[in-house]
Amino acid sequence: MDEKQIVKNIKRIRQNKKMSLMRLAKLCALTKGYVSKIENSDKAPPFSTLSKIANALDTDISLLLADESEAPENLSLCIIKKNERKEVISRGTLYGLHYEALAHKKIGKNMEPYIILPAFREKGIFSHEGEEFIHVLEGPYEFSYDGKKYLLNTGDSIYFDSVTPHNGRSLGKRKAKILAVIYSYKRR
């Protein structure tokens, strides 16, 4: 772990967010002088201080610890090229769903967009805090919500509270392909 890179990341993220040293110090319950000393040092502060700084900057601590090649230039923008999509192993995979993450590089996000290839049989029921939006890229797709079934075809969309039990399945000869955006309320 390059300690000099950690302090560079702190300063870069603070400046990117247009936050003053004084504001960061206040949010961390530290002095302005100490925060300035951290940013101008070759040594990283203790992990407990890094954790306070990450919370104050509303970012993941892993971003403070990232080496130069992993640290995004712009924290408010995330571009994922088609060949950079990431296959996700999740609870849904156990039920025959194939997930591709479309914004896995974005730090501190509230939404999780995926391309999903649903199985032909409903094998599980999902319920979680938040909201979801589904757009059918290739159908048909059968969506079940609170026990009621809805037939969605290519170009159809649905938006729903995801705490209500829901699932879906592909219909026809080929698997459906859907764009799903999951929103959670967990912003720090």
- Cα 7 to Cα 105: distance, rounded to the nearest angstrom: 21
Domain ranges of the chain: 3-65, 82-183
Interval 86-104: pLDDT, tens = 776 544 555 567 788 888 7
- Nearest CA among 111, 131, 126, 113 for reference residue 187: 111
- Cα 96 to Cα 73: distance, rounded to the nearest angstrom: 36
Residue bearing tokens 């501190």: 108
Predicted pLDDT of residue 86: 72
Predicted pLDDT of residue 70: 54
Q: Is the pLDDT of residue 23 over 90?
A: yes
Predicted pLDDT of residue 94: 52
Q: What is the CATH number of domain 3-65?
A: 1.10.260.40
Backbone angles phi, psi at 115, to 5 degrees: -100, 130
Average pLDDT over residues 152-163: 96
- Cα 122 to Cα 179: distance, rounded to the nearest angstrom: 18
CATH architecture, domain 82-183: Sandwich (2.60)
Number of neighbours of residue 159 by Cβ within 10 angstroms: 11
Predicted pLDDT of residue 73: 61
Indicate the residue type of 87. E
Average pLDDT over residues 78-87: 78
- Beta pairing class for 141-145 and 148-152: antiparallel
Q: Is the pLDDT of residue 121 over 60?
A: yes
- Tell how many helices (H) and how many strands (E) occur in the chain: 5, 9
